[in-house]
Each structure stands twice: as structure tokens, then as C-alpha cells.
Amino acid sequence: MQDRQLYQQILGITSPWSVERVELALKAGEVRVFLTHASDASWCCPECGRECPVHDHQPERVWRHLDTCQYQTLLCASLPRADCPEHGVKVVRVPWAEPHSRFTALFERLVIDWLHEASQSAVAAQMELSWHEVHGIMDRAVQRGLARRQAEPIVHLGVDEKAFRKGHRYVTIVNDLNRGRVVYVAADRKQKSLDGFWGQLTASQLAQVEVVAMDMWEPYEQSVRDYLPDPAQKIVYDKYHVASHLGEAVDRVRRAENKALQAKGDGRLVGTKYDWLRHPDNFAADQWRDFAGLRNSNLKTARAWALKEQAMVMWDYRYEGPARKHFDWWYRWATHSRLKPMIEKAKMLASRLPNILTYLKHRVTNAASESINSKIQWVKYTARGFRNFDNFVTAIYFHCGKLDLTPLPTK
Ligand SMILES: [Zn+2]
């Protein structure tokens, strides 16, 4: 029959497998391709590769393959079970699919490629897949990618937390800052969230870690102290996290002052929130000029803002001595500012100063994490409607792990 040979060719079915028959169900919009194997074929144990006698055959199974024209194409076969003297009775491997998948490897690969371009719900609708099927394909891809990872040195690490839903559950995310990829995701932001990561590293990987950039967050610090030698030299409080702490204090000052001003009919601070939080480099020249009136004013908010900007100068120093001097000068100014939020942050920074200054030695920030973060925002966005927690974790690895996700048998 022509169609048997045709399908054998286009599906890439090779010996000992062959196409036995093809059934076209027009109404259901399906093509069913039934596969069979030579009766004298030899089979191998999937564990050890040893050639083994056949024990029996499994009931017929079905794999979804790439569509033929507009028809869903299904491969059907009854798989032999090999009887290995060492591993017992095991289902043999097939060249068109990975074990336990109900899709062929080529189909999974197409879904994986589409998931890089479109949201999970768009892919599900387009490929006529359910939520669970899309999640299953992503999850298998991630498991495969994680298993293929080599134990490479991760010299600069960034630890970050992300809210799964605003203000709800958190995940801890560990980034390889040099390769710009997520290497670990765990639930919560507790010490044990990070502890789990160290356990995955080899002894030599542990010894090669030079920097852990993070927010000032005691549970993470404790984890680093418990697992890494010489932790005091390795913890670097991330510049962007410090900036965001100070920004939050500036915003508290602005909110209170805005309220007081508005009560007197003064609307100068209305709608200015993001001007105070934006990095000066991110203003266009004309915006910066427009902002001059406010930032040079005698408003409390302007003083808080100046304090924040002066604190950030510390990261421009080359050596620890002058940086410490700058901090002492700044600390005196901040603690005499009569701005409570700024005084609080100044005290916090003073108590954490040694691990802020470690930056000067390593020059590492979580900047690489920023591009990962924007990707994670995309993940959150494209996973809408698929938002359970496990799916979120899987999607982070899938999109930000730089993993080799391809299913191996691609014939
Ligand atoms: Zn075996």
C-alpha cells in the first residue's frame, strides 16, 4: 500500500519498526498510524542496553504526532517488554518518543518551540492541548534539561526573591550571574529555601563560589554562613537592593509630606512619585531640567532624595578607606536629617556596612538578575490562566534556565 510507505518515510519509522496500516477517520479529523515490528527483532533492556528476550507486549498505546495536513496524527503501537536478568521486566525504548510521554518527540519539540514564542494558553488552544498536557510537556522538558546540566563552576551567584502573586507566596531564585541564567528555584524565602541549593552543588562547586549577591535578608545570610567557607568575604549586599530600600524611604517621606502640603492646598508633590525613584541617568535632558525645581527645593522629599543619591556614590569608590569615610560623612548627615525613614535606613546600612563594602573587592551586582527578572515578568504574564505554583516554578526554569530542553529521540 502506498500510504503505508508514505507514512513510514515521513514519520521516519525505521527497522525493526514499520507501518502496518493507516486509518483515516475523516469525521474525527484523525489519522491513525499503526506500527508493528519484525517478529525476529532483538530488544534491549532500557536500563543497561543488554539484549534480552521478550517477556510480553503492553496493551496498545497512542502517541500524538505532528499533524498531517489538518489531521491530528496518532501513532499506535504495542510495545514489547524485555526480560533483563538484572533489571527485570521493562518496556523497551522506542525511537519516536521518550518513556511515559503520550506525545512523540517531534511533537513535544514543536510545542517547546512555540512556548518560547507565545503564551501557554495560546499554545494550548492552537495545538488542541489541555492545561495538563502543556504543563506536562514543559515539566518533562525542564527535568530533561536539569538532568543534562554539567557541574560547572558558578563563581558569582545572585539570590533573589519573587512574589508569585502580589504579596502572596514567594519563590527564592538563585542566578548564575556570569551566565545570566536561573540555576535554582525553591518555594518561600526562608533559610531552608536557599539551603536546598547548596546541597545540589558538588564540593568543588561549593569551593568555587566567590560572591553571593543578595538583599539584606537574614535567612539567606544564615544559609550562606552555614554552607560556604569564609562567608563574610563572599556576601555582597546588592547595590540595586540597597537603592530600592533607600527609594522606599524617600517614598515614605514624600507620601507624608504630600499629604501635609495638600492639606494646605499645595500640590507640588502630586504625581511626582516616580521622579524621585528614577535613577538620574534615566531622565531625558529636558525632564531633568523640569525636575530641577523640585530636587533643588527645600522640601523634605528633596533632602531625602539627595541623601539617597549621595549614599549611592559609595559604589563609585575604588578603595575601602575612602568609601568608609564617605559613609561616615553620609551617616552623620542622614542621622541628623530629622527624616525618620532615612534615619532608620542609615542605621540599617551602618550595621550592614562590611558586606556593602565587599562590593568594592568583587564589583558584582545583581544587574544580570535584572534581565532575568524582566523575563520572569514575561513568564508571569504568559502563564496567566496557568497560574498554579508548580507551573510558575517550571516556567521559570523553562524560560530562564538556559537549559537544553530538546527531547532526544527526534525521529
Ligand atoms: Zn538491564
CA distance 373 to 291: 29
- Give the pLDDT score at 374: 85
Q: How far does the centroid of ligand 1 lie from the alpha carbon of residue 45, in Å?
A: 5
Helix ranges, 90-230 (H):
105-115, 120-127, 131-148, 191-200, 203-208, 218-227
Q: Using an 8 Å Cβ cutoff, are 196 and 223 in contact?
A: no
Q: Determine the distance separating the centroid of ligand 1 and the alpha carbon of 51, expressed in angstroms.
A: 8
Cell output for 94 = 522506542
- Digit-coded pLDDT (tens) for 70-101: 899 999 999 999 999 999 999 999 989 988 89
Residues with CB under 5 A from ligand 1 (ion): 45, 47-48, 84, 86-87
The CA–CA distances, whole Å, from 34 to 52, 57, 75, 142, 324 equal 24, 15, 6, 30, 75
Q: Which residues of the chain fall short of a pLDDT of 50?
A: 1, 410-411
Question: How many angstroms separate the CA atoms of 35 and 13, rounded?
Answer: 9
pLDDT for the residue 167? 62
Give the pLDDT confidence of 253-281 residue by residue, as tens digits.
999 999 999 999 999 999 999 999 999 99
CA distance 345 to 324: 17
CA 96 to centroid of ligand 1, rounded, Å: 21
pLDDT of 166 reads 66
Cα 44 to ligand 1 centroid, rounded to whole Å: 8
* Ligand 1 centroid from CA 56, angstroms: 16
Residue 36 CA, ligand 1 centroid: distance in Å: 23
- AA letter at 209: V
Number of Cβ atoms within 10 Å of the Cβ of 59: 6
- The one-character DSSP state at 285 is H
Cα 137 to ligand 1 centre (Å) = 27
Residues 307 and 326: beta-carbon distance below 8 Å: no
pLDDT of 172: 94
How far is ligand 1, taken at its centre, from the CA of residue 411, in Å? Answer: 24
Rounded CA separation 143/397 (Å): 9
Rounded to the nearest angstrom, the distance between the alpha carbon of 88 and the centre of ligand 1 is 7
Which residues are within 8 A (CB) of 5 and not within 5 positions of it... i.e. 6 or more apart? 19
Q: How high is the pLDDT of residue 144? A: 94
DSSP string, 303-368: HHHHHHHHHHGGGG-SSHHHHHHHHHHHHHHHHTS--HHHHHHHHHHHHTHHHHHHHHHH---THH
Name the residue among 184, 179, 180 with its Cα closest to residue 196: 184
Ligand 1 centre distance from Cα of residue 6 (Å): 35
Phi/psi-derived region of residue 385, left when phi > 0, alpha when psi is between -120 and 50, beta in every other case? left
Rounded to the nearest whole angstrom, what is the distance from the C-alpha of residue 85 to the centroid of ligand 1? 7
DSSP annotation of 97:
B
Distance from the CA of 16 to the center of ligand 1, in angstroms?
A: 20
The pLDDT of residue 410: 44
What H or E segment, with its residue span, contains residue 66?
Answer: strand 61-68
Distance 111 CA to ligand 1 centre (A): 32
Residue 89 Cα to ligand 1 midpoint, Å, equals: 9
